[in-house]
Structure 1
Amino acid sequence: MIRSLYIAAKDLRTELRTKQVLNSMLVFSLVVMVIFSLSLSDVLSDSSAIDRLAPGLLWIAFIFAGTLGITRTFASETENGCLEGLRLCPVDSAAIYTGKAISSMCLMLIVEIATVPVFMVLFNYNIPDIPTMGIVILLGTAGFSAVGTLLSSLTVNTRTREILLPVLLLPLLVPVLIPAVLATGKILAGEGIVEIITELRLMAVYDIVFFTLARLLFDHTLEG
């Protein structure tokens, strides 16, 4: 685990130094929020309509911004010739995968932390239970990073990775997106953590299962 954290710290230091991917993710997410607020300006006065639309709007911004970032998880390593050097380090492939997944998750959380206040301002909306909302976002982001990191390594050597990765990723995210959106809707409707315990369990099971499978399969994707 310590080696995984070192790899994650390396990636985060590199990204925070250049901010190429992070800036793209932030701009994309904020532009999506602005476009939605302008296109839905006629219904902003209807709180019930916003209650129905808000969960989907938030997760659309999260997932598409995350997809934009996850495509660069291994692309930067191959472009600089660092991937082979990383594989030659005295660490197993599972540690490389875990470190990459952690760094991807941290970047997504930064974007999400910036997006939620913008959503609240643009839509004049208040999130009643922010801690519970944070748990939902954390579990959903963990599942996205677990699957996205594996698929990013699988498609990194293809010429059409920017197109192929979303095609492979989005269907696999459906089992975690459905409970995430449902739980978000219940939280925005004023319900507490007790009412969303089923959705939290589904997301937790998804995260554990796909993270475990991805660690086991990651070595084979590198060899391919």
Structure 2
Amino acid sequence: MFMFSLTAIAALSFALRCAPPEPQVAAGLLWVVLFFSAEAGVGRAFYEEAASGTLLALRIYAGAQAVFVGKFCYTLFMLVALAVFDLALFQVFLGFSLADFFAAMVFLLVVFLGIWGLAAAGVIVSALTVGAGAKSGLFSVLLLPVVLPVFLPALNLTGELFSSLLPSSSLLGAMALYDMILTLGASWLFDFVWQEI
């Protein structure tokens, strides 16, 4: 995940000749790098258990909700670390800046809401695809439609913040609401998926 981010952002920097891109382009680049680097790690949420054959033991000794909460918290923590890493690289290589402290705080909130949705969707989709033969292809196909409702507002809000515009509070509220619904829905669905893994 981290190597993908480093390689992608360094390549973008050289392609753009170290000049800061337009605000909307910078927002798109940031979220594309975040999405694909996160996808590389989130898709492996149940890989270790499936590869070592310990899923049955985990199912015996842990309840579905305990496993979901544990995987979700771990994935969220990992994505927060990835976002911090990506934002630092973005600052170093592409030199984007925000207008003021308020814009920076809203930007961090947008990033957090974006990766929260990605973590919740990633855990449930990873559980759904753990037994599939072509895991990576199926995971990508199933993940994108689920995270699109949080991905597009995050992209729009980031572009507004990079352009020094006032961000839309309704989009922030919609992102938070979708994240909560997605997390609750994934938690409910995980009870059924966990018995079939």
Structures share a fold, TM > 0.5?
yes
Instruction: Give the CA deviation at 1:53.
Output: 0.7
Matched, 1:97 2:68: yes
Instruction: Give the CA deviation at 1:179.
Output: 0.6
Instruction: Tell me the C-alpha RMSD between the 2 structures.
Output: 1.5
Instruction: Give the CA deviation at 1:52.
Output: 2.0
Partner of 1:115: 86
For the residues of structure 1 that align with 2:154 and 2:13, how far apart are their CA atoms? 22
Structure-to-structure mapping, 1:195-214, within 5 angstroms? 195-214=167-186
Q: Is the 8 A contact 2:79 2:115 kept in 1?
A: yes
Amino acid in structure 2 at the alignment position of 1:36: L
Cα shift readout 1:143-199 (whole Å, capped 9, x = no counterpart) = 11111100100100111111110011012211111110111111112235xx33111
For the residues of structure 2 that align with 1:109 and 1:137, how far apart are their CA atoms? 9
Unaligned runs of 5+ in 2: none
Amino acid in structure 2 at the alignment position of 1:41: R
Matched, 1:153 2:124: no
Give the TM-score normalised by structure 2: 0.92
Unaligned runs of 5+ in 1: 1-24
- Number of aligned residues: 193
Cα shift readout 1:13-51 (whole Å, capped 9, x = no counterpart) = xxxxxxxxxxxx111011111111222228x2xx6x421
The alignment partner of 1:212 has SS state of helix
Partner of 1:174: 148
Give the TM-score normalised by structure 1: 0.81
For the residues of structure 2 that align with 1:179 and 1:86, how far apart are their CA atoms? 37
Matched, 1:58 2:30: yes
Instruction: Give the CA deviation at 1:130.
Output: 2.3
For the residues of structure 1 that align with 2:9 and 2:191, how far apart are their CA atoms? 38
The alignment partner of 1:41 has SS state of coil
Partner of 2:161: 187
Instruction: Give the CA deviation at 1:82.
Output: 2.4
For the residues of structure 1 that align with 2:41 and 2:24, how far apart are their CA atoms? 28
Task: Give percent identity, aligned residues only.
Answer: 29
For the residues of structure 2 that align with 1:34 and 1:216, how far apart are their CA atoms? 40
